[in-house]
């Protein structure tokens, strides 16, 4: 082949490939436009005021339905979760709230790269503080009193085909603003002994009502543990293995969690369980599918969690005692919090 032919071949290939690349980008951006248009048959959404207190029995969540209010914090009456939604104009990837304090994990679109931050919200969804989040946010929680907020992020993807992810769990005292950027700063007591390891990862914090105790997942050496943490002594103690994303019941007696069950596919290995903290007995819930979420207690007897759906995620509910059947309560919704 002469140089001329080779250049011609390259140029024609460039034209074709540039066409394919452009078409794929245009296709994806056209889809973006579609997503800004309300889909027929979807939930009715109107802009309005959303507050974390005052109104009794509401569910607040990230609305994932296509349309102008996509990704905004949205509220519905807890008694009619599939009913008309009121959107707030505040966009979050993950959200939780309790006693008039909310935590909203947001993406900040930069010129070169997205960064993430955790925004602490007051009862009227106004920002009171924000903190850097070092990676893609995955879990958010607020203590029942509203004093403490916690979040987890995935950190990784630094190098070529890097598949090594780790998590960082942060806790902030919303009263003083004191931030613990990573629970790795806490002392770990594993099986009764101090444990120090570089591979320690925490995720899925859940708070007790005393504003001192919390529970979380600790992973080290390929195993996951349920840990009980103490905010005052800055210590975590392992209680049990194979517990991920714990969620403490309102009465503080039980923990709902996802458990890795043998024999399930590696990418969907979790079933929902409830652990009784007094007897340490666990009960499998009636949800047969793999759930990758930190469940939320609607009350002492009912759990709510997300499963993948047509528009990202749908919310389901199941009784906490292992009876009954899972039921879909809301489509195109994720990260619910129940407020009164």
Other C-beta atoms closer than 10 Å to the C-beta of 257 total 29
What region does 5 belong to: left with phi over 0, alpha with psi -120 to 50, or beta? alpha
CA dihedral 257, 263, 268, 270 (to 10 degrees): 0
Query: Which of 306, 312, 305 minimizes the C-alpha distance to 332?
Result: 312
Only segment of 57-65, 96-104, 198-206, 323-331 that touches another protein (CB under 8 A): 198-206
Binds another protein by CB under 8 A, chosen from 31, 175, 234, 281: 31
Site string for another protein, 302-331 (x = CB under 8 A): ------x---xx------------------
Query: Which of 125, 111, 176, 123 minimizes the C-alpha distance to 148?
Result: 176
Contact 118, 146 (CB under 8 A): no
Q: How far is the CB of 158 from another protein (least distance, A)?
A: 5
Task: Based on the shown chain and the rule CB under 8 A, indicate whether residue 28 belongs to the binding site for another protein.
Answer: yes
Cα 32 → chain centroid: 23
Contact 306, 258 (CB under 8 A): no
Instruction: Give the nearer residue to another protein in terms of CB position, either 78 or 313.
Output: 313
Cα 160 → chain centroid: 27
Instruction: Give the nearer residue to another protein in terms of CB position, either 174 or 217.
Output: 217
Site string for another protein, 247-266 (x = CB under 8 A): ------------------xx
Owner of token pair 């990418």: 267
Q: How far is the CB of 294 from another protein (least distance, A)?
A: 11
Only segment of 22-30, 50-58, 72-80, 231-239 that touches another protein (CB under 8 A): 22-30
Owner of token pair 């990202």: 312
For residue 182, the SS3 value is coil
Site string for another protein, 65-104 (x = CB under 8 A): ----------------------------x-----------
Binds another protein by CB under 8 A, chosen from 3, 40, 79, 263: 3
Other C-beta atoms closer than 10 Å to the C-beta of 141 total 27
Instruction: Give the nearer residue to another protein in terms of CB position, either 25 or 47.
Output: 25
Q: How far is the CB of 76 from another protein (least distance, A)?
A: 22
Binds another protein by CB under 8 A, chosen from 44, 47, 80, 132: 132
């Amino acid at each position: 082949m002469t140089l001329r032919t080779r250049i011609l071949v390259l140029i024609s290939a460039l034209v074709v490939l540039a066409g394919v690349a452009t078409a794929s980008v245009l296709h994806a951006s056209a889809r973006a436009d579609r997503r800004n248009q309300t889909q027929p048959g979807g939930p009715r959404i109107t802009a309005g005021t959303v507050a974390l207190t005052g109104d009794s029995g509401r569910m607040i969540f990230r609305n994932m339905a296509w349309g102008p209010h996509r990704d905004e914090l949205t509220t519905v009456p807890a008694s009619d979760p599939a009913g008309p939604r009121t959107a707030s104009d505040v966009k979050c990837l993950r959200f939780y709230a309790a006693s008039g304090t909310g935590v909203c994990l947001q993406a900040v679109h930069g010129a070169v790269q997205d960064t993430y931050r955790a925004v602490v919200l007051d009862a009227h969804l106004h920002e009171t503080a924000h903190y850097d989040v070092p990676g893609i946010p995955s879990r958010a929680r607020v203590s029942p009193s509203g004093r403490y907020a916690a979040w987890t992020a995935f950190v990784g993807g630094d190098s070529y085909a890097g598949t090594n992810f780790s998590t960082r769990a942060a806790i902030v005292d919303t009263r003083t603003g004191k931030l613990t950027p990573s629970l790795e700063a806490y002392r770990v007591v594993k099986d009764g002994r101090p444990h120090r390891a570089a591979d320690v990862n925490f995720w899925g914090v859940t708070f007790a009502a005393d504003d001192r105790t919390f529970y979380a997942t600790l992973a080290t050496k390929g195993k996951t543990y349920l840990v009980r943490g103490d905010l005052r002594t800055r210590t975590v103690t392992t209680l049990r293995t194979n517990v991920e994303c714990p969620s403490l019941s309102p009465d503080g007696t039980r923990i709902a969690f996802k458990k890795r069950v043998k024999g399930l596919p590696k990418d969907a290995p979790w079933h929902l369980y409830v652990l009784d903290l007094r007897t340490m007995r666990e009960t499998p819930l009636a949800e047969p599918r793999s759930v990758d979420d930190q469940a939320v207690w609607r009350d002492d007897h009912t759990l709510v969690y997300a499963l993948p759906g047509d528009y990202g995620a749908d919310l389901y509910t199941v009784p906490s005692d292992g009876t009954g059947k899972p039921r879909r309560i809301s489509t195109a919704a994720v990260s619910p919090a129940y407020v009164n």
